[in-house]
């Protein structure tokens, strides 16, 4: 059996209550007693039982991390480890542990979150994505548990603490960068349209076109739903248009790599024949040929702030919801050319 507070108490000739106070470094305990108890703890190899401690303290010193695991997408993308690194760093600084959701479907995730919250497994939750009509976000909003979101909530964003990039502006500036290079026929390959980030980037794309009096061409705007897994065919069709685009903005570097591959198969060269720009600045993007121009979104910072936001809420429930915008920057490399 593991050594408990009672064993220490007996050995040190004090009461369990005193041992408990020594652990908490209660100032009302004499330093002699503290020292004695600490020696015994050392000697017996005592370690506090978290379950017991958390049960009475009504907290867990743990943050729940909820991610989209469906289709293994979140895991494939380097976004996840990097945001986790940010969260981990901040959580560790406040002695918080990390508990990961493992569910694959939306239902499983939802159930897990309810269990985490109701079962008092975690003191707060970080939601790593924001999608439209998400029951998980809905539940979090109601249940009262502190939480933060990476990404702007679709509904009532001002009522929740979240961290995000200015995705609309990012996309806008990205498109304007291409316009500045002389492009007028710019396509956009977006992500799943139930994610807010996808909507925002599409919105920025449209805004940029609008402001520069470039008509929005339906066929230039592609997204995951439209492609239905047939990315190759979608790109083929895009390039087979009467007026094919001279530049493509993709919502993620990984997608950019794929698109570049499809284009090559069509004997279309980047950047000679077409310019490509990505998003998220993966670690390998600079090693590509041509090196991929992209938008760095400071993923690590997103994680850091997400953790900071929940931790704030946990420390003081009454703190009003807070929104943090993390800066992004366009990184020019070799995948776009001036027309």
Binding residues (CB under 7 A) for DNA: these are: 1-2, 4-6, 13-21, 23-24, 26-30, 32-33, 46-49, 52-53, 55-58
Are β-strands 247-250 and 186-189 bridged in parallel, bridged antiparallel, or unpaired? parallel
- What distance in Å separates the CA atoms of residue 278 and residue 188, rounded to the nearest whole number? 10
> In the complex with DNA, which residue's Cβ is closer, 114 or 217?
114
Mark 225-264 with x for binding to its own copies (rule: CB under 8 A) and - for no binding: -----------------------------x--xx-xx---
152 vs 158: CA distance, rounded Å: 9
Are 56 and 276 spatial neighbours (Cβ–Cβ below 8 Å)?
A: no
DSSP-derived letter for residue 128 is -
In which residue are the tokens 């284009």 written?
Answer: 263
The residue (of 115 and 166) whose beta carbon lies closer to its own copies is: 115
On whether the CB atoms of residues 83 and 165 are closer than 8 A, the answer is no
Site for its own copies contains 92 (CB under 8 A): yes
**Of these, 9, 11, 12, 103, which contacts its own copies (CB under 8 A)?**
103
Helix, strand or coil, per DSSP, at residue 163: strand
Query: According to the binding rule CB under 8 A, does residue 71 interact with its own copies?
Result: no
Query: Restricting to residues 154-183, which ones interact with its own copies according to CB under 8 A?
Result: none
* Tokens of residue 176, six digits: 């304007």
Q: Residue 250's binding partner, choosing from DNA, its own copies, none, with beta-carbon cut-off 5 to 8 A by kind?
A: none
Out of 66, 78, 177, 187, which residue is the one contacting its own copies (CB under 8 A)?
A: 78
Q: For residues 117 and 199, which CB has a smaller minimum distance to its own copies in the complex?
A: 117
Q: Tokens in use for 269?
A: 């060269």
**Binding residue for its own copies (CB under 8 A) from 120, 185, 236, 337?**
120
Which string of DSSP letters, residue by residue, matches 2-33?
A: ---HHHHHHHHTS-HHHHHHHHTT-TTS-HHH
CB of 273 to its own copies, least distance (A): 15
Classify each residue of 212-247 as buried b or exposed e, where b means 16 or more C-beta atoms within 10 Å of its C-beta. eebeeeeebbbbbeebeeebeebbeebbeeeebbbb
- Please say which residue, 117 or 208, places its beta carbon nearer to its own copies: 117
Q: How far is the CB of 215 from its own copies (least distance, A)?
A: 32
Write down the least CB distance from residue 42 to DNA, Å: 15
Q: Which is nearer to its own copies, 282 or 305 (CB)?
A: 282
- The answer to whether 287 contacts its own copies (rule: CB under 8 A) is yes
Q: CB 60 → DNA: shortest distance, Å?
A: 13
Q: Tokens for 334, please give them.
A: 């070799």
Among residues 215, 221, 186, the alpha carbon closest in space to that of 203 is found at 221
Instruction: Give the count of residues interacting with its own copies (CB under 8 A).
Output: 56
Asked whether the beta carbons of 113 and 139 are under 8 A apart, the reply is yes
Distances (CA, A) of 209 to 174, 188, 252, 338: 11, 11, 20, 18
Residue 146: which of 322, 325, 303, 299 has the closest Cα?
Answer: 322
Min dist. Cβ of residue 30 to DNA (A): 4
Out of 89, 159, 315, 327, the residue judged to bind its own copies by CB under 8 A: 89
Residues engaged in binding its own copies (CB under 8 A): 2, 45, 47-52, 54-55, 60, 62, 65, 69, 72, 74-78, 80-82, 84-85, 88-89, 91-92, 96-100, 102-104, 108, 114-115, 118-121, 254, 257-258, 260-261, 282-284, 286-289
């Amino acid at each position: 059996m593991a050594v408990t507070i009672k064993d220490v108490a007996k050995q040190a000739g004090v009461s369990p209550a005193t041992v408990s106070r020594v652990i908490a470094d209660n100032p009302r305990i004499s330093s002699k007693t503290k020292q004695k108890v600490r020696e015994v703890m050392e000697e017996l190899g005592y370690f506090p039982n978290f379950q017991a401690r958390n049960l009475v303290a009504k907290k867990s010193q743990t943050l729940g991390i909820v991610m989209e695991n469906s289709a293994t997408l979140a895991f494939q993308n380097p976004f996840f480890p990097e945001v986790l690194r940010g969260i981990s760093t901040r959580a560790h600084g406040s002695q918080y542990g990390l508990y990961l959701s493992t569910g694959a479907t939306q239902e499983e995730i939802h159930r897990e979150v309810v269990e985490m919250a109701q079962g008092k497994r975690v003191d707060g939750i970080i939601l790593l994505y924001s999608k439209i009509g998400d029951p998980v976000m809905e539940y979090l909003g109601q249940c009262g548990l502190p939480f933060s979101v990476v990404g702007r909530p679709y509904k009532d964003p001002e009522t929740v603490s979240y961290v995000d990039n200015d995705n609309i502006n990012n996309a806008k500036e990205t498109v304007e960068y291409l316009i500045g290079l002389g492009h007028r026929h710019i396509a956009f390959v977006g992500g799943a349209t139930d994610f807010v980030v996808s909507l925002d980037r599409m919105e920025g794309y449209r805004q940029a076109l609008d402001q520069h009096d470039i008509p929005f061409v339906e066929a230039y705007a592609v997204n995951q739903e439209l492609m239905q897994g047939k990315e190759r065919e979608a790109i083929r069709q895009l390039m087979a248009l009467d007026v094919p685009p001279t530049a493509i903005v993709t919502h993620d570097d990984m997608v950019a790599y794929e698109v570049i591959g499809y284009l090559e198969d069509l004997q279309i060269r980047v950047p000679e024949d077409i310019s490509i720009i990505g998003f998220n600045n993966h670690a390998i993007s600079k090693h590509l040929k041509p090196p991929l121009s992209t938008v760095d979104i400071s993923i690590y910072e997103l994680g850091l702030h997400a953790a900071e936001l929940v931790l704030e809420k946990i420390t003081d429930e009454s703190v009003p919801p807070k929104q943090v915008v993390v800066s992004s920057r366009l990184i020019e490399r070799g995948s776009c050319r001036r027309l």
